[in-house]
Each structure stands twice: as C-alpha cells, then as structure tokens.
Amino acid sequence: MRQVILDTETTGLNPATGDRIIEIGCVEMVGRRLTDRTFHYYINPERDIDAGAFAVHGLSREFLSDKPIFANIVDQLIEFVDGAEIVIHNAAFDLGFLDNEFALLKRPPFRGLAAKITDTLLDARQMFPGKRNSLDALCERFAISNQHRTLHGALLDAQLLAEVYVAMTRGQEDLSIDLIDYTVGTDSSGQIKPLPTDLKLLLATAEDCQLHEKVLAEIAKASKKDPVWSPSLVAL
C-alpha cells in the first residue's frame, strides 16, 4: 500500500470566509517505509494572513508574494497523491481547505483522489482518551524528537507525522509480546525436522551485566516507584 502523509498551513481557520492554503507538504511511504519522494510548495494566497495564523507558522504575505498560486501546482499535487492512502492529523481541517481550493478551480473534491483517508487525531483519541493528542504531544509520547520544530511547517510536520503514524500502528504499545511459531516444520515423509545443531549461544559478559544493572537502576530512579523487576515483587 502506498501512503502519502500530508499537512497544510493556511491563512486562517475557515475556508468558507476566504482563508486559503499557503503551504502544503507531503511525504510518501511504501510498505510502511519512507521513500525519497516528497511534495512541498509554498503558495501565494493572494490575500492577507491572520495574525493568529502567522504566529503559528511564521509565513508572511511578503514572503509568499512571489510563490506560485494553487492553480499552478494542483496538477503536480494530484499526480503525487492520486490513488494513495492519505494520512492527515485532524483531517477535517486540511480536507476542508483542499476541497475548497479544488472547488475554486471547478474540480472534483480533493478527497476523491484518496484510496483511503486516515485521521491520526481520531485514532489517537481512541488510543489515548482524555489525553492531549496534538502532534507535539504524540511526538513526546512516542519519544520522537521534535526539538527542531519551533514553528509549524507543512513538510516538517508531515515528516514527524509519518514517524508518529508508524509508532501508533506498530501494534506494540504494551509489554506483551505476540507468540511466535517456532515450529521447525516437517520433511517430505511427514517427520518433524530436527532442530539445527550449529546454533551459537552468546552469553552476556560481566561488563554487559553491569551496564544492564546500571540502566535498570536509572529507570527505577526516574520512575520513583518500585520497578516490576524488583526482587521483592518477583518473589511474589
């Protein structure tokens, strides 16, 4: 499955009152791995930018004045996303703006290009009810570095969202581990094949054990409570 992770920046909050897209960024994933294909444009909205929006993304009308208008990049956008699953954080917001831009050009809605639309905000709210689920909060929750994100940027946010999406959907958010079928198999006569005899056994060195104990002690100190591997709890 080909996936496109997408984000936009806008002049304000409401396309119905004339707000427009001023930046769009997309990254491509195939088989849950990022490819080297990206799509990124700053866009001239031909209108002023709300002060609140400028505080979020820092994109001024002056900076955008020599950038292409949306009509000049729409065909490239269609080519990049057509037929892919599109992953967006708070999809209703971005899709509302994209559908509006397509409507202004008398084109069918943007969302019709997608094989599927995944909203990571809705998914996060189901996974973490009652918690903050902004992109920054999810980066923190999944230990994804976003220190370079001082302002919102469509391409940067799409790249961060790709990491968040993979973390959210990897199916290992607790300490349980799926059982693995270690059956060796049978030969042509139906007899079970013997286990290989040339397996190497690697034992931890004394230094490895000391480093391991040090890490466990640091985790226990940071958690400020008895860890589950504490001898007193293991004895229970």
User: Full-prediction pTM beyond 0.75?
Assistant: no
Q: Which residues are catalytic?
A: 152
Secondary structure (3-state) at 16: helix
Rounded (10°) CA dihedral 15, 19, 21, 22: -170
Residue 227 resides in a domain:
no
141-189 tens-digit pLDDT: 999 988 766 667 899 999 999 999 999 998 644 444 443 344 445 555 6
30-55 tens-digit pLDDT: 999 999 999 999 999 999 999 999 99
- What is the number of alpha carbons within 13 Å of residue 83 lying toward its C-beta? 5
Element (H, E) at 8: strand 2-10
**pLDDT recorded at residue 128:** 95
How far is 176 from 104, CA to CA, in rounded Å? 51
Residue 115 resides in a domain:
yes
- What is the number of alpha carbons within 13 Å of residue 108 lying toward its C-beta? 6
Element (H, E) at 99: helix 91-104
Structural domain count of the chain = 1
Give the DSSP letter string of 40-60: EEE---SS---HHHHHHH---
Residue 177 resides in a domain:
no
**pLDDT recorded at residue 225:** 66
**pLDDT recorded at residue 39:** 98
pLDDT of residue 194 exceeding 80: no
**pLDDT recorded at residue 181:** 42
How far is 5 from 29, CA to CA, in rounded Å? 8
58-68 tens-digit pLDDT: 999 999 999 99
Report the CATH number at residue 92: 3.30.420.10
Residue 184 resides in a domain:
no
Residue 210 resides in a domain:
no
Residue 41 resides in a domain:
yes
Residue 202 resides in a domain:
no
84-142 tens-digit pLDDT: 999 999 999 999 999 999 999 999 999 999 999 999 999 999 999 999 999 999 999 99
How far is 217 from 235, CA to CA, in rounded Å? 19
Residue 87 resides in a domain:
yes
Domain that holds residue 123: 2-168
Higher pLDDT, 224 or 176: 224
**pLDDT recorded at residue 190:** 58
